[in-house]
Chain A
């Protein structure tokens, strides 16, 4: 299985901050990387697919980048409603695997 490792595991930040979460894959996954946001007590929500494509309805403050083994999720200006745990997920090979999550706190 491809291992996905996120850093940091938790991230304290302030409203208005630019925040970046990193996801590393144990092997080259091209751009087959998705990002999800999970708010407390809610189901995950797809934010970005194929590394850099914003899902419909997701604010433009979110962006994704990277290819190969290193990827980033950036929030350009943190808002209170962005408090959540963020997960990356690779779709390069079966089984699809998720990172362990990054808990974003304000």
Chain B
């Protein structure tokens, strides 16, 4: 059974870099068919997609964040990571990792999610 688990510091100072890792069990991040993604949810608000990436290196970023975001996939450790630099209070959120898969009849969905990790940007 596929499981994802986020990890990383819960507190980041403004202007510094947020770094999160998602450890994957029950499947390989090397799967050619799958992308792996990050979604965040500010307190009391809705969901915002951040980025998705395949093990082959194809990456897609939300244009609203693309200048500050980098994703990477580590096939040797079966995990993937997110870096968001120059954080501000607006980046305070619950950050989820998820598998981003293609579905029949076109389109994609996030079919398995981690439990999420809270990141607070504050001095």
Contacts and interface: CB of A to CB of B under 8 A. Distances in A.
Interface in B84-104: 96, 103-104
A98 B103 contact: no
Looking at B47, B48, B105, the one whose CB has the most chain A CB atoms below 10 A away is B47
Contacts of A53: 103-104
B15 to A, nearest CB: 25
A30 B105 CA distance: 10
Contacts of A33: 107
B32 to A, nearest CB: 19
Contact of B106 (A30, A36, A45): A30
Given A50-B103, A87-B46, A96 B108 contact: yes
Contact of B62 (A30, A95, A99, A100): A95
Contact of B116 (A43, A49, A95): A43
A46 interface: yes
Contacts of B67: none
Interface string A44-59: 1110011001010000
Interface residues of B, number: 23
A94 B47 CA distance: 15
Nearest to A33: B107
Interface in A19-46: 30-34, 36, 42-46
A89 interface: yes
A45 B60 contact: no
A46 B105 contact: no
A32 B105 CA distance: 8
A99 B111 CA distance: 17
Interface of B: 46-49, 60, 62-64, 96, 103-116
5 contacts: A34-B107, A42-B115, A44-B113, A96-B108, A101-B46
Interface of A: 1, 30-34, 36, 42-46, 49-50, 53, 55, 87, 89, 91-92, 94-101
Given A30-B107, A55-B111, 6 more contacts: A42-B115, A44-B110, A87-B47, A95-B60, A96-B108, A98-B48
